[in-house]
Structure 1
Amino acid sequence: MAADAGATVLETNDDNPKTPDKSKTKFDVVIIGAGPSGYTAGIYCSRAGYDTLILSGILPGGQLVNTTEVENYPGFENGIMGPDLMIDMRKQSQRMGTTIIDDEVVNVDFRRTPFKVLTASEEYEARAVIIATGANPRKLGLEGEQTFGGKGVSYCATCDGPFFRNQEIVVVGGGDSAIEEATFLTKFATTVHLIHRRSELRASKVMQERALNNNKIKFHWDSAVTDIKGNQKMQQVVIKNLKTGEETTLDAGGLFVAIGHEPNTKLFKSQIELDDEGYVVLKNKTHTNIEGVFAAGDVHDRSYRQAITAAGFGCMAAIDVDKYLTESADKQ
């Protein structure tokens, strides 16, 4: 990728990255968010020679900082802990020259260039912006979700299903995502208990038929999970029939919550086009409806939601940014 003539590359190293210059406020690229997509975009933008800033938020690293072992990210034969993977990505981005500041964005102005990105303490300007704020899974609101997160409670069957071979598994939800996850988990589980608040599924007819005809899936209608129990790991799930009030305790090794995701896009509601669920609408590749503003990762991806796909989208966004900035410079 061609570097912009006015861009600079910071000299850093893995073990002792350069301390961010907090007095600097003008950058070629500002990346909002620091999960796999944000860090990867930083690596590519900085390596191309662009003066790049990542505003990571208060808790950098995205969902992977709350994940234990990651087995399906290429390059780690024996797996890697989620937080360790994020630390390595952060260091690699810094080594390429990316400035990373752990501050939370509170407002943006995409009406004209240079774009403005505001935190509680500073206002930054950018020639291009990459939105990589991700999405969070909707939760049940139970204390046990926090206690047993990564210890039996999961929000991604593709990520964690293989950890529960030959165990009973509970899935909560009734839409396409829940049915897809329940069906996928039958590859590993002895029984998948599907807990749904209603008496019928909301999933598409084809997916419903597939699940209803799968003898490994047991349906618990008009029910909700009320408690999660265990010692070091989750061992039991308490479900309540919402019509009769009867409670049942299920022995299970895993609980998968599949009741949807919330993209972190409220900040951009009046600035860029979002769909009915709040996901960023892409007009072409990683381009939003605002020229010079791009999006990468779970903030627009409702289908895959994997660390590897998020990183791929970060790469794509950075390449699109390079093309945009190069063409913009040629027009001047």
Structure 2
Amino acid sequence: MAHNVIIIGSGPAGYTAAIYLGRAGLDPVMVTGALTPGGQLVNTTEVENFPGFPDGIMGPELMDNMRAQAKRFGTEFIADDVTAIESAGSDDAPLYRLALSDGETLETRAVIITTGSNFRKLGVPGEVELSGHGVSYCATCDGFFFRDKPIVVVGGGDSAFEEALFLTRFGSSVTLIHRRDEFRASQIMVDRAKENPKLTLLTNTVVTEIHGTETAPAAPAAPALNLGGLALKPKPQVNVSSVSLKNTVTGETSELETAAVFVAIGHTPATDFAASVASRDEDGYIIVDGASTRTSTPGIFAAGDCVDCVYRQAISAAGMGCRAALDAQEYLSE
């Protein structure tokens, strides 16, 4: 049996598309991913800039709410990964076959790709352990939490400079660390950084480790839990406190105190599986037709961070997911 439309990937774009398609009676199927359904927001703590939540909302809770709303309108969820897409129909009756990582296949009349992109990571000790506790990959999302505290940004491109300049609004100081003595960023961005008194450029330097320390509680510690006579104390909170540095020319090592490390060394869109059905740019982002979500293949649509290399926000991804659903609905009605 061929489905009407299959959404590949979850997150704000995928869930929004599912909500719209479900309400249109198209019985969408979502292949959420085998390990991390919900996209990058499931690894985010408090989200304060998504409309409708004046007191903020935790990232995982926001994704759970979106999933529940999509389920309410009939979305079927499959916890697996799509490994390839191929044409299985004719010019008069296009059909697509999706291969899943468990060996199963699905057929559908239309596909919406919302697999997002992955932050490139430093790969140093402490990065994974302190993610969400001072290690961040989004200044717009998390900069506010480090008001009047020292901040480190790692990277040398336009994105890194944009993040560093943005973070000077919040941090007591911002240090941008780059492994070379020349930057990939445009000269105007470099000039703006040099003119900002709160921003320091540290070149020929790499971060070799990120350190954390226990944070003193702002209020009296919660009482120990007593379960069957066994007293359990709450696990102490550990946040970023410093980074270890190494000069790439001299080999000299040092340590820099900081409350946050923002990693801005690029993104990798998760689109390799779709290379045979969707044209991509040199960085792997899926190319769409103008302001639509139509790809180079009729019946294949794309939305969210697998398309958007500029904004990369939950709200913009959700908006694009809406457009993808409407584009797919129009295609299926032809």
Q: CA deviation at 1:26?
A: 2.5
**Partner in structure 1 of residue 281 of structure 2:** 275
**Partner in structure 1 of residue 233 of structure 2:** none
**Partner in structure 2 of residue 145 of structure 1:** 127
**Partner in structure 2 of residue 319 of structure 1:** 326
- Alignment match of 1:82 (pick from 40, 56, 59): 59
**Partner in structure 2 of residue 99 of structure 1:** 76
- Percent identical pairs in the alignment equals 52
Structure 2 unaligned regions, length at least 5: 214-237
- Alignment match of 1:73 (pick from 50, 61, 81): 50
The letter of the residue matching 1:279 is: Y
Q: Deviations over 1:223-273 (max 9, x none)?
A: 000010012111111111111111121111110000000000111122220
CA contact (8 A) 1:26 1:125 kept: yes
CA contact (8 A) 1:110 1:290 kept: no
User: Aligned partners of 1:66 and 1:204: how far apart in 2?
Assistant: 31
| 3-state secondary structure, aligned to 1:212 | helix
Alignment length, in residue pairs? 303
**Partner in structure 2 of residue 258 of structure 1:** 264
| 3-state secondary structure, aligned to 2:180 | coil
CA contact (8 A) 1:111 1:271 kept: no
Structure 1 unaligned regions, length at least 5: 1-24, 328-332
- Alignment match of 1:54 (pick from 21, 27, 30): 30
Q: CA deviation at 1:111?
A: 6.4
- Alignment match of 2:18 (pick from 18, 28, 42): 42
The yes-or-no answer on 1:294 pairing with 2:276 is no
User: Aligned partners of 1:249 and 1:146: how far apart in 2?
Assistant: 19
The letter of the residue matching 2:22 is: S
**Partner in structure 2 of residue 118 of structure 1:** 99
The yes-or-no answer on 1:30 pairing with 2:14 is no
User: Aligned partners of 2:274 and 2:164: how far apart in 1?
Assistant: 33
CA contact (8 A) 2:277 2:300 kept: no
Structure 1 range deviating more: 99-108 or 156-165:
99-108
The yes-or-no answer on 1:229 pairing with 2:214 is no
User: Aligned partners of 1:138 and 1:218: how far apart in 2?
Assistant: 23
User: Aligned partners of 1:314 and 1:223: how far apart in 2?
Assistant: 40
**TM-score, length basis structure 2:** 0.89
* Cα gap change, 1:48 to 1:143, in 2 (>3 Å): same
Q: Deviations over 1:14-37 (max 9, x none)?
A: xxxxxxxxxxx5310100001110
User: Aligned partners of 1:294 and 1:175: how far apart in 2?
Assistant: 30
Q: CA deviation at 1:106?
A: 1.6
Q: CA deviation at 1:145?
A: 1.2
The letter of the residue matching 2:77 is: I
* Cα gap change, 1:110 to 1:300, in 2 (>3 Å): farther
CA contact (8 A) 1:32 1:130 kept: yes
